[in-house]
Amino acid sequence: MLPNPSGARLTSVLSARRSHAAFHTSASRRAAGDRMTGTLPSYGPVGVARALDASSATGTNPTLFAKEFSLADRVALVSGGNRGIGLEMALALVEAGTRIVYCLDLPEKPGDEFTKVREYASHLKGTGGEARLEYVSADVTNQNAMWKIGKTIGDREGRMDVCVAAAGILRGDTPCLTYPAKQFEEVIAVNVNGVLYTAQAAGQQMDRFGNGGSIIMIASISGHGANQGHPWVSYNTSKSAVLQMARSMACELGPKRIRVNTISPGYINTSMTGQFLAKRPELVEVWSSHNPLGRIGRPDELRGIVAWLASDSSSFCTGSDILVSGGHHAW
């Protein structure tokens, strides 16, 4: 039998229990509030919530493009940024206001395409940032080197907000039963390991500064199903791996407010695609027939989705794959 406490002691115990209950009720309410709204951006609520809070006598400015889609003062890292989809996305981030985009790629020096785009970006008006593209020669398959690059950027800029892992390679048609080990390992090293090391390089800095962030990995429709008529076992395998990598990382990094998503383009007219089609021009008609729009996509048609995923406007989107394929998947 438990002892019967004295009156004074009973009063003290009850008082302590009330205080404890009040504390936990308050903490529970705060936790419930966080679960209901998440962490609001510095500019506060938006949309209907902002309208309901606003004073009818006070003028206000729209927030959708000025705030929610804006990347003002943010820092980004883009692999494969020397040309193609990577460069297209880097420019889109600059136009959305990113202070600086570090474009990583394998060549020692940037190509003419990058140089011209960097010059163009430096003259943009009204971006809200410094509109800078900076080239960094890097091998995405070198984990230690990638981590060092990420830390160097973090030390220099004091933050890391956006990562786009766009570096990737495609090898020619090779039958799966005789696919050479070296070639398979080469594709996996860039398209899978390189994506992980890129995400790590940026994600470590996002975690370091505690501001959250957005990691965007370039997957492909080839990760959802095989490409009819093309023996691309290494490429298709690598892109499927990226889809699962993003889902796994999204679950692990969600509590740190680091979002991880993928974009799965269809057939896009990049320089890599152009080189392949130059050898087999008949495929232009074939590939175009694989989607309801009846054509191959342009790299600039991915700009809007990367700007959305990088910004506050997609703050409740993680672990998702966005298909941009002209409806290739809808047949």
pLDDT tens digits, 280-315: 899 999 999 999 999 999 999 999 999 999 999 999
CA-CA-CA-CA torsion sign (84, 85, 87, 88): positive
Could you tell me if residue 216 is inside a domain?
yes
* Residue 106 is assigned to a structural domain of this protein: yes
Residue 11 lies in a domain: no
Tell me whether residue 1 is in a domain: no
Q: Is residue 279 part of a domain?
A: no
Q: What is the pTM of this model?
A: 0.88
| Res. 112: pLDDT tops 50 | yes
The total number of structural domains in the chain stands at 1
The 10s digit of each residue's pLDDT in 258-288 is 999 999 999 999 877 888 888 889 999 999 9
Q: Which of 71-80, 99-108, 198-207, 223-232 has the lowest mean pLDDT?
A: 223-232
Residue 220 is among the residues annotated as catalytic for this protein: yes
Q: Is 256 a catalytic residue?
A: no
Q: Is 267 a catalytic site residue?
A: no
Given a contact cutoff of 8 angstroms between Cβ atoms, the answer to whether 261 and 321 are in contact is yes
Given 102, 135, 197, 235, the catalytic residue = 235
The CATH number for 139's domain is 3.40.50.720
Instruction: State which residues form the domain around 206.
Output: 65-263+300-325
**Of residues 79, 234, 239, 267, which has the active-site annotation?**
239
> Residues 214, 220, 234, 314: which is the catalytic one?
220
pLDDT at 323 over 90: yes
